[in-house]
């Protein structure tokens, strides 16, 4: 039976993976290729995945040696923007991490295609996408990076239009973590980062420093997310 994950669990699993790999966590942006290598996963570039199978990337396990292979379309590796390329690899790593028992049963591209046709795939994709964003832009590192960037924006431009401050901070963070603006927007607007809420609080109070949210509210929200997953 496919395991059901809460947002909190996915966040923790992604961070635990990075915590065990200090070499990856030490430098931004997160090196997804290196992380795959350190996990013992072989990355191969394959021409024709899109025209032949209509997929950009896939993962399977070679038998009998158990080697895990991630194959990515050559056109993607050569031509796609770096944030998009990284997101594709991080999402496949999400599948390999969250759905290992299922992926262990795939030994070829054809097996992976069959898995994509299963009723469980949409839910698996949702969780893998959430994992990818959490991995490439970890909450702790986003918070650490956002604080000095916000202070610099306020020092240089003052308290101008709130939306402009939010957009500039978003763009700076996207560059720092080498993700798309949409991906970093997801991190900034949603739990656990909630950077936009912190910016609005700081600007409304005229603070040149990025203020934290109320700790009680954050803890309550974490508990609600955890329990809601357990009850589903």
Please write the tens of the pLDDT for every residue from 42-95.
999 999 999 999 999 999 999 778 899 999 999 999 999 999 999 999 999 999
Domain ranges of the chain: 7-136, 139-231
The pair of structure tokens assigned to 211 is 């203020």
CA 38 to chain centre: 18
Q: Could you tell me which CATH number the domain at 7-136 has?
A: 1.10.10.2910
Please write the tens of the pLDDT for every residue from 138-196.
999 999 999 999 999 999 999 989 999 999 999 999 999 999 999 999 999 987 889 99
- Per the confidence metrics, is the pTM higher than 0.85? yes
* Among 58, 80, 31, residue whose Cα is nearest residue 180: 80
Please write the tens of the pLDDT for every residue from 109-135.
999 999 999 999 999 999 999 999 999
Q: How far apart are CA 49 and CA 78, in angstroms?
A: 14
Q: How far apart are CA 52 and CA 56, in angstroms?
A: 10
DSSP string, 52-117: HHS-SEEEEE-TTT--EEEEEEHHHHHHS-HHHHHHHHHHHHHHHHHSHHHHTT--SHHHHHHHHT
Where b means 16+ CB within 10 Å and e means fewer, 87-123 reads: bbbbbbbbbbbbbeebbeebeebeebeebeeeeebee
Contact status, residue 67 vs residue 24, Cβ threshold 8 Å: no
């Amino acid at each position: 039976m496919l395991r059901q994950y809460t947002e909190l669990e996915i966040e923790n699993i992604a961070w635990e993976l990075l915590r065990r790999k200090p070499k990856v966590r030490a430098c931004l942006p997160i090196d997804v290729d290196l992380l795959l290598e350190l996990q013992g996963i072989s990355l191969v570039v394959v021409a024709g995945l899109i025209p032949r199978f209509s997929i950009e990337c896939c993962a399977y396990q070679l038998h009998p040696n158990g080697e895990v292979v991630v194959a990515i379309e050559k056109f993607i590796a050569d031509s796609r923007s770096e944030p998009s390329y990284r997101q594709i690899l991080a999402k496949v790593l999400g599948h390999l991490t969250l759905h290992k028992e299922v992926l262990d049963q795939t030994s070829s591209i054809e097996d992976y295609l069959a898995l994509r046709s299963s009723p469980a795939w949409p839910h698996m994709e949702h969780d893998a996408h959430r994992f990818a964003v959490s991995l490439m832009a970890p909450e702790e590192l986003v918070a650490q990076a956002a604080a000095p960037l916000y202070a610099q924006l306020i020092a240089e431009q003052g308290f101008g239009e709130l939306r402009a401050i939010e957009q500039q901070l978003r763009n700076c963070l996207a560059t720092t973590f080498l993700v798309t603006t949409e991906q970093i927007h997801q991190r900034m607007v949603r739990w656990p980062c909630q950077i936009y809420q912190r910016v609005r609080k700081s600007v409304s109070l005229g603070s040149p420093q990025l203020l934290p949210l109320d700790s009680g509210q954050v803890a309550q929200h974490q508990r609600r997310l955890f329990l809601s997953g357990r009850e589903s």
